[in-house]
Amino acid sequence: MTHPAYLDPESGARYPIDEPRWRSDEGTPLMVSPGPGIDPDDIDGGTRSIWRYRAALPIGIPDPITLGEGCTPLVEGEWAGSRTRFKLEWFSPSGSFKDRGASVMLSALRAQGVERVIEDSSGNGGAAIAAYGAAGGLDVTVFAPASTSPAKLAQARAYGARIELVDGPREASQEAAIAASERGDGFYASHNWQPFFLEGTKTLAYELWEDLGFRAPDSVVVPVGAGSSLLGCFLGFRELQRAGRIERIPRLYAAQPLNCSPLDAAFRGERDRPVRPTVAEGTVIRSPLRLAEMLAAVRESRGGTVAVPEEEILAARRGLAECGLFAEPTSATAAAAHARLLASGAVRPEETTAVILTGSGLKAAHLDHRTS
């Protein structure tokens, strides 16, 4: 078995995995070399968090930073004429699926000697890094667009993170965060760049597999911005396939708002699709860093992409609430996409489909269900 390493998917270059690193020498994003997968006997059944799957991680971390993330409910509900399984990721400690990635990434970095971290985020990512930084005794600075809703930054501030507001588009926050890291202000622990974040989100696949009695669903629908939930599912299910635990990777469907849908545009061969404001703020990334990997995940899994108009996102949010599920608009995008997939026949009612509801409706409580 090849020793785990950071891997540049473009050049094939490998780097030691026991050293802090967030990009290649050429400045490109890295992945972790593929893992062999695990068997049910490898699960630590005495641990109620994502760390029950620690055997699937590329390095041993004896003292992880954990707040009990993972083990979120998978509940059945009637949706668009089908019995659908909703994975309620808002039960995570900071209220979103990004706690999975934050726990593994910051645990690995702390084990590698990192004490100060820098993140750029306009929402859930910053909250998760701030929460796990606080739990792990790390110094955290979050760079965010000056236009970010104060309510979204309040959570990260509550955990003790410093907030640096940056004028300009979302990309300006990333540039400012990288510049601060290069000045020596901290290690750049971006949830978009750091490959250990994906090692955390891949536990979503392992958990769905365990939730369903150690079998894979037929399809998974995920909301997509930077793509960490999509790629995490793909990595985890691919490892399970490699281990012989599942026959095939579930069909992965990426849901995006039509107003900001670069993955859907690329999948359909469209160029210069306009980007407009969207209520699904968690997906607003014009040029995803890992677009090529996301396209490969959708195609290799025999899945697809769905671009959802604003009115359908808001209708899905109201519909979920009527089922007792209070989801943020980004999550509602996945539910709306599932309805479209059912209507088109791409997904059949008798199949097992998991829809990932990534974040709590409390993250967007300013939206009024009566008028949205």
CATH of the domain at 287: 3.40.50.1100
**40-68 confidence digits (pLDDT tens):** 999 999 999 999 999 999 999 999 999 99
Residue 100 lies in a domain: no
12 and 141 inside one domain:
no
**Residue at a domain's end among 142, 165, 188:** 188
Residue 362 lies in a domain: yes
Q: What is the pLDDT of residue 284?
A: 81
CA-to-CA dists, residue 207 to 101, 195, 220, 287, 288, angstroms? 14, 20, 13, 29, 26
329 and 241 inside one domain:
yes
Q: What is the pLDDT of residue 169?
A: 81
Residue 99 lies in a domain: no
CA-to-CA dists, residue 91 to 98, 102, 114, 207, angstroms? 11, 15, 28, 14
171 and 301 inside one domain:
no
Q: What is the pLDDT of residue 367?
A: 63
Task: Say how far apart CA 296 and CA 171 lie, in whole Å.
Answer: 24
Q: In 10 A of CB 26, how many CB atoms?
A: 9
**Residue at a domain's end among 167, 188, 209:** 188
**Residue at a domain's end among 188, 211, 240:** 188
Domain containing residue 131? 115-188
Q: What is the pLDDT of residue 152?
A: 77
Residue 244 lies in a domain: yes
15 and 119 inside one domain:
no
Strand 251-257 versus strand 353-357 pairing type = unpaired
Residue 267 lies in a domain: yes
**Paired tokens of 78:** 């009637």
Residue 253 lies in a domain: yes
Task: Say how far apart CA 153 and CA 312 lie, in whole Å.
Answer: 27
**Paired tokens of 45:** 């059944």
260 and 292 Cβ atoms separated by less than 8 Å: no
Per-residue confidence band for 372, with pLDDT thresholds at 50, 70 and 90? very low
Per-residue confidence band for 124, with pLDDT thresholds at 50, 70 and 90? confident
206 and 313 inside one domain:
yes
Contacts of 5 by beta carbon, 8 Å cutoff, 6+ apart: 14, 15, 16, 17, 32, 33
With 0-12 / 13-18 / 19 or more C-beta atoms within 10 angstroms meaning exposed / middle / buried, residue 142 is buried
Q: What is the DSSP letter of 338?
A: H
Percent of the chain past pLDDT 70, that is, above it, reads 98
**Paired tokens of 298:** 């959708």
Contacts of 164 by beta carbon, 8 Å cutoff, 6+ apart: 141, 142, 143, 144, 176, 180
240 and 198 inside one domain:
yes
50 and 70 Cβ atoms separated by less than 8 Å: yes
Is 90 exceeded by the pLDDT of residue 135? yes
Contacts of 179 by beta carbon, 8 Å cutoff, 6+ apart: none
CA angle (236, 329, 347) in 5-degree steps: 55
Q: What is the DSSP letter of 230?
A: H
265 and 362 inside one domain:
yes
CA angle (284, 286, 290) in 5-degree steps: 100
**Which residue has better confidence, 67 or 369?**
67
131 and 174 inside one domain:
yes
212 and 262 inside one domain:
yes
Is 60 exceeded by the pLDDT of residue 369? no
Residue 105 lies in a domain: no
Q: What is the pLDDT of residue 334?
A: 98
Residue 98 lies in a domain: no
**Paired tokens of 84:** 């659908």
Domain tally, the chain: 2
Task: Say how far apart CA 116 and CA 137 lie, in whole Å.
Answer: 9
182 and 222 inside one domain:
no
**Residue (of 239, 358, 222) closest to 298 by Cα position:** 222
Identify any residues that bridge with 223 across adjacent strands, giving them in sequence order: 255
127 and 147 inside one domain:
yes
**180-238 confidence digits (pLDDT tens):** 999 999 999 999 999 999 999 999 999 999 999 999 999 999 999 999 999 999 999 99
161 and 198 inside one domain:
no
* Average pLDDT of the chain to the nearest whole number: 94
Q: What is the pLDDT of residue 168?
A: 87
